Structure formats: structure tokens, C-alpha cells
Amino acid sequence: MELITHNLIGIIIQILCFTFLLFPLNIVCTILFAHLSHIFCDALSIITYHTPDRQKGDKFWIIWHYIIYLLSAISFFIFIIPYWLGMLFANIIDIWDWLILRPIQNKKREKNPESKWGDKYYLHRTVDWVRNKLFFWLPVRNYKKSGIMIEIFIIITLSIILGFLGPSLFIT
Ligand SMILES: [Zn+2]
């Protein structure tokens, strides 16, 4: 799913863990559940509009991603303190795969286009595994533009939950 969705889930997980668990379980569980949430959300993302590659010529794709990145940035700045832990681990797989591993792999492939180096280090392989085991029965809607409605619905639902939880800007 999109960055904003992962952020909101990470924040909710951190609030729940810090409300109901004591140190150090609150930190351990925030890290664990935020990480797992990414795997499950991404495994489910086949039902949302989520093209595997960039669609640079497609206005719809561009506008949708502008909105998503804007919302993600806003959520990031509002909640970074004190929810950076939940947000970080809700996105750690993407940070590793897309911001660290992929650029290194691209560098290696500049020298040797056949290079398979790094393929087995992609953490999204767990996502594929969970999807194949648990969600194989779901319809694949990655290229269906109406799929954004599902993601918007999820984002609104998460925002409402967050509103009820009343995120305090300081964890006491
Ligand atoms: Zn991901």
C-alpha cells in the first residue's frame, strides 16, 4: 500500500503498544507489529491501484501519486514526534528495498547487466510469500484505477481510528 497508509498504521500500533504495554515491551512490540503490518498491507495491496512500475505517461498515476506523497509528507511532519518509531518500522522494508538495496543493485548492473546480486536480499520476498499463502484468492486489481477508492476508504478509516485514539503529541 501507499506510504501514508503505512504511516497511519505505524502510528496506531505505537499508540496502542505505548498505552497498554510497559517498557521495554512497548518498544519491542511497536517494532514487531509495525514491521508485520507492512508485510500484510503490501500482501493485500493487490486489491488497490498499485502498479508495479512507474506510469510516467499516465496523468491519473501522476496526480494520484502527488496526492499520496503530499499526504505522506504531512503525516510525517505532524507525527514524527513522537511516532517516528512506529512510522520507521512500518516503512523499514520499503526503505531497505527501494532506497538502499535497489540503488546498489542498479550500480552493480551498470557494470554487469546480468548481475543477480542482491535479488535474495529483497525483504518484499516475504510479502510475496504471505500473498501466495494467504491472499491468493483475492482479485488482482493493481491496474484498476477504481482501486484508489479502496485505499482512500482505508486511509479515511485509519484517520477516524486515529482521531478516536487521540494521538497525544507527547507520550507520557
Ligand atoms: Zn512495501
DSSP 146: T
| CB-based contacts of 102, cutoff 8 Å, min separation 6 | none
Residues with CB under 5 A from ligand 1 (ion): 42, 94
Is there a domain that residue 75 lies in?
yes
Is there a domain that residue 118 lies in?
no
| Per-residue confidence (pLDDT) for residue 55, from 0 to 100 | 86
- CA of residue 127 to ligand 1 center, whole Å: 8
Is there a domain that residue 8 lies in?
yes
Low-confidence spans in the chain with pLDDT less than 50: 170, 172
Comparing CA positions, the residue from 78, 62, 42 lying closest to residue 154 is 42
Average pLDDT taken over every residue of the chain? 92
> Quick one: how far is CA 116 from the chain centroid?
26
Burial class from Cβ neighbours inside 10 Å (0-12, 13-18, 19+) for residue 116 reads exposed
Is there a domain that residue 53 lies in?
yes
- CA of residue 155 to ligand 1 center, whole Å: 16
- CA of residue 78 to ligand 1 center, whole Å: 22
Is there a domain that residue 99 lies in?
no
| Per-residue confidence (pLDDT) for residue 166, from 0 to 100 | 81
Query: Which residues constitute the domain of residue 9?
Result: 3-92+124-165
Total domains in the chain come to: 1
Q: What is the pTM for the complete model shown?
A: 0.90
- CA of residue 113 to ligand 1 center, whole Å: 25
Is there a domain that residue 170 lies in?
no
- CA of residue 94 to ligand 1 center, whole Å: 5
